[in-house]
Chains A and B, each alone.
Chain A
């Protein structure tokens, strides 16, 4: 199956700092999604990307669909304690078909 490498695996940052994480695949994807998962809950969709080079924002979150279509980036600006959780990337080669998920980036924000 497709391999998705997500990095870093974990991050410990001070409140107010910016955060960057990325996801790379061994294959070209047509869609990238970014999810956040809180403890004991299911993943919640943050941002969806459909075009190479696309840059999309959702509040303090910004994600980009890499030009090569094999990677994606998520940035969080001015982090706050409620940003704590695990962030997952997911990629798909075809609309409506199987998504492949990264292993997640665990974010801890220190007040």
Chain B
């Protein structure tokens, strides 16, 4: 595997479910990001991890909980989501100090 991978690619969940999104990067980067992409809106940065420490949390509701166990893996734990949380969730990685971010294919999340 190369680049940035995300699983699952599609997820449908009820408002009372708990699920997790997984991201893995094979680029040797040390910074990872979660973005939310909704229709007709710019990408919204949710969380940034640099050297496995969370450095950015852009006022994201607590029903989204990130976890970065090492520099190659990033998780987004989901619980008691709302229908308006339905979106494409994108993971990205970069090398600390560099600007180019490389994105995964995303997880298409639908909350019923």
Residue ranges of A at the interface with B (Cβ–Cβ < 8 Å) = 4, 31, 33, 35, 40-45, 48, 50, 88, 90, 92, 95-96, 98-104
Contact = CB atoms under 8 A, between A and B. Distances in A.
- Scoring B31, B43, B45 by chain A CB atoms within 10 A of each residue's CB, the highest score goes to B43
Nearest to A88: B43
B103 A43 contact: yes
Contacts of B4: 42
A98 B48 contact: yes
Interface stretch (B14-22, B69-77, B92-100): B92-100
Interface residues of B, number: 27
A91 to B, nearest CB: 10
A96 B99 contact: yes
A43 B101 CA distance: 10
A44 B98 CA distance: 16
B102 interface: yes
A43 B90 CA distance: 9
B73 to A, nearest CB: 17
Contact of A92 (B50, B99, B104): B99
Contact of A103 (B31, B40, B90, B101): B40
A95 B97 contact: yes
Nearest to B6: A42
Contacts of A96: 31, 50, 94, 96-99
B105 A42 contact: yes
A50 to B, nearest CB: 8
